[in-house]
Amino acid sequence: MMRFLTTSITVIALTLATTQAIAAVGTPGFTSEVQAYSYVSIDTEGTGSYKQLVQLNEKIDINIGWTMWTGLASTYEVYFDDTLVNSGNLSSGTSGNISFPYTGKAGTYELTLKFCDDSSCKKSTVKELIIADTDGAHLSPLTMTTDTNNNTYAKTDSVVGAYFVEWGVYGRDFDVSDIPADNLTHLLYGFIPICGSNASLTGSSVGALTTACADSEDYEVVVHDPWAALQMSFDGLSYGDPIKGIYSQLMRLKQRNPDLKILPSIGGWTLSDPFFDFTDKANRDVFVTSVGKFLRTWKFYDGVDIDWEFPGGGGANSALGNTENDGDAYVALMKEIRAMLDVLEAETGREYELTSAIGVGADKIEDVNYGAAQVYMDYIFNMSYDFYGAWSGVTGHQTGLYCGSSISTEQCTGTGIEGDDYKYPAYTTVAGVDALLAQGVEPSKIVVGAAMYGRSWIGAMPADAINDNPMTITNAAGPLTGSTSQGIWEAGVIDYKGIYANMIGASGTGINGWETGYDEVAEAAYVWNRTTGGLISYDNARSIKAKGQYVQDLGLAGLFAWEIDGDNGDILNAMRDSLPIGTS
């Protein structure tokens, strides 16, 4: 009898223990799927239109596969890091899925699950979960590979800007990691196109824009080269990253330099044609709405830069321009963009800047009331370069601060009697600034332009120069040509770093038959080959510092340059050296 009793007790105890073991909460685990999501979905291998390749998602559908091989549980909790993001009742079984919508912040999180019954809970191990967004919150800061010639500076309250161009990642092999961003306050991305008639555009870029705009309305904005901007692989990216290309680098740059203002520059020399249709408000409305969506999609941008070349005409397309109506359209455009940005600021709690690159000739400035437009704008980038080039028929300083010693007072001031030739002051940095100030533009909104390249001629022979001044030659034969290894990517234009390496040299006095020169009246540099007749007008450290001093004397906003891949550090260093150290 005792033996039977003992056996019964043992069986009952084992049964209770087994029941408790079965009833205990199981430990949750994860299935093998990668937990990676994105607020912007990009077809990183597609070749379609911008709208086919890019989709903005207002929410993310999280789907977590789970396992629980032993035990029971009735409820679950989902944590991103230590934050509870979802909870609910758990389905029965040894595996399943937890799905829920998510509208929170992007980032890289430690995902954990907690399964519970009425009396206890158990947590899973940690799994990485990535929620990508175009603010770059999910990315690590960009590792830089800038030229070591760039110096280190304290912060400045002045504007120090530079353009970076989308196509530079190709032949120039210059990507975002090469930008000396620590020395900049503003980075302008060139260029964002406007869909519609773009007759000024030529070459392979036409086909690329046609494809990009295939599903867009006229006057909407798109990414011109999706391969470069969104699909190309760079160091630090993996195959599965949802956003690639230059834009992924810019997002990582924003993580590294959060105070850097990154602005998409819309338009440019060959992409300005659609602006001339903005005398019609309906077209402006389409454009402004599209820019708003663009900024909501690409959150690393801090506003917008408008590069309309030029209201009133004088741009790449000689058939376009209305001196009576374009100026009013420009002011209205600035007002309407500012209103859109104000709404965006209220939505996001961020600040968005509105800037514009403009031609500095008095003949161009007179066609727009910049005094009225500036009320809506943060900065006006004066493109104080390209004053002269091989197209001019004469030589001259392409980015001079003042009139050169070769220019008469009458021509300089536009007070001569030789008809239209002297109707306006000669193109100089100072003349452009004076014209804006005369319109009532605040000095603190004017940014002076610097050139990280030179304009060139051939056939500028000493025998044709007056008083041995190469800027007096009226029969130069055309543009200087050469190879990309010399920094010549188009006839008549050469990168500053190419000028330094092939014409200036380490001594600063000239090499390979070239000699350096400086016009102290214009505050402008040049190099001249007296034997071949080669001549290049450019900015150097001395002329940049003269511009910087001028900026300080007048209380202007600062300096910017076209464009950053042409520099070896000399020009940007001079820009920083010439401007005051900040107080903030």
Asked if residue 481 is part of any domain, the answer here is no
- On whether both 95 and 165 belong to a single domain, the answer is no
User: What DSSP state is assigned to residue 62?
Assistant: E
Backbone Cα Rg of the chain: 31
Would you place residue 6 in the very low, low, confident or very high pLDDT band (cuts 50, 70, 90)? Answer: very low
Closest of 576, 581, 561 to residue 164, by C-alpha:
561
Q: Is 309 a catalytic residue?
A: yes
Last residue within a domain, chosen from 84, 114, 132: 132
- Check whether residue 12 and residue 107 sit in a common domain: yes
Instruction: Single out the catalytic residue among 309, 336, 523, 563.
Output: 309
User: How high is the pLDDT of residue 9?
Assistant: 34
Strand partners, 189: 164, 264
The reply to whether 307 and 175 lie within a common domain is yes
* Domain at 191, CATH number: 3.20.20.80
- DSSP letters spanning 65-123: EEE--SSB-SEEEEEETTEEEEEEEPPSSSEEEEEEEE-S--EEEEEEEEEE-SS-EEE
pLDDT reading at 322 higher than 70: yes
DSSP secondary structure letter of residue 417: S
CA–chain centroid gap for 564, Å, is 11
Residues spanned by the domain of 222: 159-387+427-452+543-578
Please say whether the beta carbons of 508 and 528 come within 8 A. no
- 96 shares its domain with 170: no
How many CB atoms within 10 Å of residue 464?
15
- The residue from 132, 150, 173 where one domain ends is 132
Among 132, 167, 183, the domain boundary falls at 132
Tokens 């956003």 sit on residue: 243
Which residues neighbour 191 within 8 Å (Cβ) at sequence distance 6 or greater?
165, 166, 224, 265, 266, 267, 268, 271, 307
Confidence of residue 141 (pLDDT cuts 50, 70, 90): very high
Indicate whether 419 pLDDT > 80.
Answer: no
Q: Do 97 and 173 reside in the same domain of the chain?
A: no
Residues 98, 164, single domain; the answer is no
21: domain CATH number is: 2.60.40.10
CA atoms within 13 A on the CB side of 211: 13
Do 271 and 368 belong to one domain? yes
Q: Do 313 and 261 share a structural domain?
A: yes
Domain identity same for 49 and 125: yes
Task: Specify the pLDDT at position 584.
Answer: 53
Orientation angle between helical segments 541-554 and 429-438, nearest 10 degrees: 20
Per-residue pLDDT tens digits for 455-499 = 999 999 999 999 999 999 999 999 999 999 999 999 999 999 999
Query: pLDDT tens across 286-306, in order?
Result: 999 999 999 999 999 999 999
In a domain, 355, yes or no: yes
For residues 84 and 101, what is the distance between their CA atoms, to the nearest angstrom?
A: 14
Q: Which alpha helices (DSSP H) does 389-469 contain, by range?
A: 409-413, 429-438
Q: How confident is the model at residue 559 (pLDDT cuts 50, 70, 90)?
A: very high
Asked if residue 373 and residue 317 are part of one domain, the reply reads yes
Q: Which amino acid is at 158?
A: S
On whether both 164 and 100 belong to a single domain, the answer is no
Mean pLDDT of 359-383: 98
Closest CA relative to residue 117, chosen from 68, 55, 161, 46: 68
Does the pTM surpass 0.85? The reply is yes
- How far apart are the C-alpha atoms of 449 and 436, rounded to whole Å? 14
Q: How far is 426 from 431, CA to CA, in rounded Å?
A: 7
User: What is the number of domains present in the chain?
Assistant: 2
How far is it, in rounded angstroms, from Cα 251 to Cα 229? 12
At 420, the pLDDT band (50, 70, 90 cuts) reads low
Q: Which of 299, 186, 208, 209 is closest to 248 using CA atoms? A: 299
Residue 23 pLDDT class (50, 70, 90 cuts)? low
